[in-house]
Each structure stands twice: as structure tokens, then as C-alpha cells.
Structure 1
Amino acid sequence: MDLVESIKMSATTLVANKLRSSLTMLGIIIGNASVIAMVGIGQGAQKLASEQFESLGPNVLFVLPGSREARNTTFDLPKTLVWEDAKAIANQVPSIAGVSPEISNRFLISYRNKNSQSQVTGTTPEYLDVRSFKVDKGRFVNELDIKRNKQVVMLGSELAEKLFGKQNPLGEEVRINNISFQIVGIMGTKGSFMGQNQDDAAFLPLTTMANRLQGKTSPYGTEVSWISISAKNQASIDAAKFQIENLLRRRHKITGEDDFGVDTQKDILSIVNNVTGALTIMLAAIAAISLGVGGIGVMNIMLVSVTERTQEIGLRKALGAREKDILIQFLIEAVILSAAGGILGTLVGVSGVFFVGVVTPLKAGISPMAILVAVGVSGGIGLFFGVVPARRAAKLDPIVALRSA
């Protein structure tokens, strides 16, 4: 019997038992859809993280307080960075384009009967260029605000809408931690970064934030939460990092472990990609278990089919069919079931990834390699788990098969 005839017979047999064939394919469909969806969502998370880091600004470095061990083990970081460190970096590091010290905390912001618990950042005029922010209306912090500790505030676009609706907020006053601040600017839309909505935020002069809201807690100067720095260009990033580390070690008189860390966008993105990549592999591995379960289902149904079709097998062998012919037919049936389930599962998985991309911020990412691997594995599973039933059918003695019928 030629291969085409075997395929026709296998297809006819499967179509004749639609419900059983559909239930057999269900495990493969779920397995394929799960693998493709998990890989696609993981890749979407990596794309989203990359875009968010790029939105921080070009060639940005971050100086963070505390040793690397302290940053990994506690949320209450040591108070080791001060404004004077940022000034020293700006004056003595030649490979940088801008420096922006920041003090950040969450405070209650009120306007009449509306309240919002939002992020408040005290910073300097360089913040706009270093972090690639734009002002939509009004102005940003200027040097006069810094010198005079002026009680002015710039609102993020979402915070402004939350407190004022369609009303123009410029010139109005809001209360931050029960202190009045005049609104002088509205920031352009920036989006979220690492789960933090940058549009639901307020910006103050650094000195005002330190003296009126945060309070001074370091004997060495105005304590800052971190320092954002932009290198002159991509090629200057490594040099800037090296120079900043050497300068701060001298300023802090460090002889052992650093009490600060300098991270580039690439460093942080690499960490995030490693985490999301590991999660993607873990989720895909868990989803792949259902492929194995689906394969067991194929073998189970095929064994049942061999038992039910004992008379057919005996008759075919009595008419001259070889063991090879019987083996090939049952293997083809198993592969058709698995391949069809793989294709349907692929369609479901791809649709799921696009649906997630529509309803969430994740970017839909479909990996052609994941699709090829999933469909190939599902076909391989059919072949692997179909061997035992096919061999059992091929080994049936025609006389015994006909008698048992």
C-alpha cells in the first residue's frame, strides 16, 4: 500500500470518529496554545521594558545610594548621596552632558475636595534634558526657584486631569503635605516606567523639596534619592561610568566596598531581560507539560482504537496487508491528530498573544521559531506516542484477530 492511500484511509477513519478525534486533539491544542502564548507574552514584556528604558533618555546613567548588597536586600537605602556629589560630577567629569539630582517621595496632593497620593520629585532645571521630559504648558523649574526655595509645582498630565478635569490648572494652588504650592507648568505625557506612572507625578525645585517637605537627614549636605546623568554620546557611557566611580570614591573616602552604584541603561535592561527571560522559560516549560499530557491522550485513544478495530486489522492482514502497512497507517493517524492539534493550537496561541497586546501595555510578539518548534514538537509527540499502539496493531495475529471479533 502506498503512502497516499494510507493517508486517505487514516483521514477517513479520523473523520468517521469526529468527537473522539476532537477530544484527542484538545490536549495538543491547549499545549501548543499555552507554549506560544507564554513565549509571546514573555517577549512582549521584554519589548515593553526596552521601550520604557529608552524613554528614560539617551545615554542615561544612574548613581544610586548604598552598596550593591544593600540595594539587593533592603528598600530602606542608606543616605550616602548628596547634592554636592552631583555638583562635583557636573564640574569634574568631562564625558557627561548633564546632571540631575533627584529627591523622590510620595505625598498627598490636594485641590479643594480632590486628593491624590502621588509621586513628588524635587529636581533641577537639567532634569528635562537628562530624562527627556517635555513641558506641555507653562514652564519647568528654573535657577531662581532653586535659589529662593519657591513654592511652585509642575504637574504631570494625568495628575492635572485627576485634580482639575478640563479646567486650566496654571496659576491655581494645590496643597502637598498641607503646604500650598502654585502650579506653573503641566508636563507632557511620558507614560509608565517599571510600574510607576510618570504622568501621575508632581515636580518641585530641589531645595523646596529638601527644606519644606523632605527635611535634611544627612550631615554632609542635601541628601538626594539618586542622581541621573546623561553622557555626551553612546561612546562616552563607559568612560563616564569609570570617571564618576573614581570621583565618588575619592569624595566618600572609600577604601573598601562602594557605598554607591553607577548603573547604565544597558546594565539595568540586561537585569530586567534576564528576569523576564527566565520567567518566560519557566512558563513555557510549565505549558509544555500539557503537550506531554496531550501526547499521552493520543496514545490512550490510539490503544482504544486498536482494540475496537481488531476485526478490521485481522481482515486486512488476512487479505495481504503487511505489518509495515498497518504500522504506517496507525502512525499516520497519530501524526495527523497531533499536527492538526498543533496547527489549531498555534492559531489559538497567536490570537491570545494579539489579544493580550490589545488589552494590556505589553507589545504583541510572535516568535516564528516558537511556532515552528511547537508544531514540530506536537507532530513529534504524535509520532512518539503513536509508536506503541501502532506496533501493537501491526503485531496482531490475523487469525486471533478474526476469532476475537
Structure 2
Amino acid sequence: MGGLYEYIKMAVQNIRANKGRSFLTMLGIIIGIASVIAIVSIGEGTKNQMNSEIDGIGAGKIAISVSSDAMTEDEWITPEDVQEVRKLDDVEGVSVSNSYDGETVTGKGTFSIMLTGEGPDAKMINNSEMKYGNYFGEQETEEGKNVCVISDSDAKRLFGTDDVVGMSLDITCYDSSKSFRIIGVTTQKENGTFVSYTYDGMPVTVNIPYSSMDDLVVGSDEFYSITVQADKTQDSQGIADQIVHLLEKRHQCAGEDYFQVESFQDIMKSMNEMLGMVTTFISFVAGISLLVGGIGVMNIMLVSVTERTREIGIRKSLGAKTASIMLQFLAEAAILTVIGGLIGILLGVLAAYGICTVMSNSMGMAISPGISPTVVLAATLFSCAVGVFFGIYPARKAAKLSPIEALRRN
């Protein structure tokens, strides 16, 4: 143990004696470690924020749609199907969504609209936050009332103000026209940067009870898909299987695969996998600098061996063993990379927080870096491994020098 302490002490003295060269040697390791930690931390922080937003609007949601085969056989989801699904245990709500193109004219001009017929649980499924008025519910849907709900941003586009409850919209769809009274205005929830409901240039979205579309669109009471809000504490897949079994029983189509399922958890999993792949690839590219840094360590250690040839010869002539010489140079290489790794870790964490702060300010949301102790530990161990691996060749070269040959060199 005392011998190892002496080797470390000698290595530190040599590093301090050549500060500039030692820093340049560590630079590749510092950049590599800092880059990997910053990229992984930012990627994890972004993924966590996305998951939080998606979980807020999509947790427990299950989308059931009919297949092309079902359409061919004229098998659609009906209002009666929806009512039966609503009765299932662990189902909190069901919404339908039939959308059609149309247009409306206001004092601000002519606008393209997306007319969306929805069910009584639309407010729950859409996770809507009301700014003015109320969303339509079961009574309006059963009675087929000519009411509608729009977003505050769309209200401003149509009327120049979002306080429009009580106003009417004359909507034309497939050469038929109808007037709808606005009973509610929704607003987008804060911290919804990744999951946005509207964007500039898209058609105005007007949500109405599907039952009020009868005299506008033929077949408005047949649905291509429904969205189910399941109990968030229960297994979504199990609930989805129950729904499909119920629909197949009602339509007598067991085994025909007429109904397809997609849960928001599946979408979130796919997004996480995709983001993880991108983060891994970028980290791999950043990690190349670690290889470059390791080669730099090896080159500098070879220079060090050349400069200290006489020292090695004197030590060997005084009885120093080959293993001792090798351990001395390995210790120096390892210390260089460990110091570089620690500096890289510190800079990587600071960079992650700094970049996340800039992203948060520019995007109007809170992104916190996902600093992983596992990644930090792995980066530390990897930097040590780089030092040992790339220090082996110079250390072996130094250890194998003949004492006589080493003493002859100037």
C-alpha cells in the first residue's frame, strides 16, 4: 500500500510539473464526459416533461377504431355501443369524434372549420379547461341541441374576442347550413408546449353534440372510433380487451379483428423509445471524443516515457522491478483521466442545467435535467478505464527498457 501511495505521489508531482501539457491531455476526456452527461441529462429531462404532459392529458385513455374490413362490411360503432361501453367497470367515460370539413362567415371573414361531433363525456376525454361558459353534456347530446364549444384562440380569430358565449355561428357543411349557439370557450392548459391543441393556420375547430349533426351530415350517428377514459389505476390493456370483447359480441364478429386498440401508454412508450434512440446516438457521437482523449493520453505518456528514460534507467539499476515501473506510469495515466473525468462531470452537470434553463425560458415551460447517478458513475468508471487502457502501452514500453540502454540516452 505504501508503494502505491508513492507511485500516486510521484504521478501527481509530475502532472503538477507539466500543468499546461497535463490540461491539454485531459481536455479530450473533459469534453467527452461533459458532452455525454449533458446530452443524456437534457434528453431525460425533456422525456420526463413530455411524459408528464402526455400523462396529464392521456393517462388511462384508450382509442378503439374500426378496421377497413369492418368498414367494408358496414360495421360501425353505434350510439348504443357507446352506452354499453360506458356501463363497464373501470370505464369513467366514453367520447365519440366524427369530424367534417365546413366553413363559416363572421365579421372577420370566411373561415375553414373542422366540425367535430362529440359525445356527452367530451369534456372529460378532451381534458378541457373552461374559460367561459360550460361544455355540453348528456342532456344536450340526448336532445340534439344546436350548441357548440370553441377554443379561446379560435374565438379571437372568428370574432376578435374570446368572450363569445351566447353568440351564434352559421356553419355550412356539405351544402347544408345550420346555426349553433356558443355555450362554452376552452383554454389551453399551461405548460403544454410539447402537447399543443392548436397552431396557427389550422382550421377553426368547432365541437358540437354528434346528435345535432343529423340534418347536416348523413351517417353522423355511426362512428369510426371512440375514445375511452379508463380508471388510471387499472390495467389499460385489460380494460381494452373487455371493450373489444363487448363490441365483438354486440356485432357478432368475434375473431374478425374488426376493432383495433391503441392506448396513450403505447404512444408514450413509442415516443420514449424514439427519443431514447436519438439521445443514445448523439451520446455515442459525443463519446467519440473520449476515444480521441484516450489517444491523447497515450501520446503524452509516450512523450513522458521518452523524457524520463534516464530516470527509468537509474531506478531499474537500483533494483526497481518491471512491475513497479509499469505501475508508476499507469498511475499517472489513470490520475490524468480521473481528474479529467471529474472536471467533465462537473461541467456536464452545469451545462445540463444551463441549457435546460435556456430551453425553459425560450419555450415557456419548466424542463429540469434528468441527472442520473448511474450515468455519472458510468462516466467516472469509463474515464478510469480509458486511462488504464491507453496507459498500458506506454507503461509497458517504459517497464521493458533495458537499464543500460536507458542510461545511455540523453
TM-score (norm 2): 0.78
Greater displacement, 193-202 / 368-377: 193-202
| Counterpart for residue 381 of structure 2 | 376
CA contact (8 A) 1:191 1:197 kept: no
Within a 5 Å distance, the mapping from 1:5-404 to structure 2 comes to 5-56=6-57, 59-66=60-67, 81-84=76-79, 87-90=82-85, 93-103=88-98, 121-142=116-137, 143-144=139-140, 147-148=143-144, 150=146, 152-156=148-152, 159=154, 168-171=163-166, 183-190=182-189, 195-198=194-197, 202-207=205-210, 215-216=217-218, 221-222=220-221, 224=223, 226-232=225-231, 234-235=233-234, 237-254=236-253, 256-358=255-357, 359-360=359-360, 362-404=367-409
Shift of 1:54: 2.1
Whether contact under 8 Å (1:137, 1:185) holds in the other structure is yes
CA–CA separation in structure 1 for the residues paired with 2:215 and 2:289: 58
What is the rounded CA distance, in whole Å, between the counterparts of 2:15 and 2:258 in structure 1?
69
Shift of 1:91: 5.7
Per-residue Cα deviation, 1:46-94 (whole angstroms, up to 9, x for no partner): 4234312321255332213437xx9xxxxxxx99754536534446635
Residue identity matched to 1:389:
P
**In the aligned structure 2, how far is the partner of 1:114 from the partner of 1:64?**
36
Shift of 1:380: 1.3
Unaligned runs of 5+ residues in structure 1 are 71-77
Name the amino acid aligned to 1:383. Answer: V
Return closer, same or farther for 1:153/1:231 CA change in 2, 3 Å cut-off.
closer
Identity %: 35
Q: Is the 8 A contact 1:35 1:287 kept in 2?
A: yes
Give the whole-Å Cα distance in 1 for the aligned partners of 2:207 and 2:345: 51
Which one-letter code corresponds to 2:404 in the other structure? I
Instruction: Tell me the TM-score normalized by structure 1.
Output: 0.78
Q: RMSD over aligned Cα, in angstroms? A: 4.0
**For 1:308-340, what per-residue CA distance to the aligned partner results, in whole angstroms no more than 9, with x for missing partners?**
332333344345544333222211111111111
Return the letter of the residue paired with 1:56.
Answer: I
How far apart in 1 are the matches of 2:172 and 2:298?
A: 67
Q: CA deviation at 1:296?
A: 1.9
Query: CA offset at residue 227 of structure 1?
Result: 1.6
Change (3 A) 1:132 1:24: same
1:83–1:354: structure 2 CA closer, same or farther, 3 Å change rule? Answer: farther
User: Quick one: structure 1 residues 115 and 381, their matched pair in 2 at CA, closer, same or farther if it must change by over 3 Å?
Assistant: farther
- Which residue in 2 is equivalent to 1:75? none
Structure 2 CA distance, aligned partners of 1:399 and 1:139?
Answer: 95
Within 2, Cα distance between the matches of 1:235 and 1:172? Answer: 42
Q: Indicate if the aligned counterparts of 2:168 and 2:180 stay in contact, CA closer than 8 A.
A: yes
Q: How many aligned residue pairs are there?
A: 391
Tell me, what secondary structure is at the counterpart of 2:57?
A: coil
Give me the whole-angstrom Cα distance separating, in 2, the residues matched to 1:298 and 1:163. 66
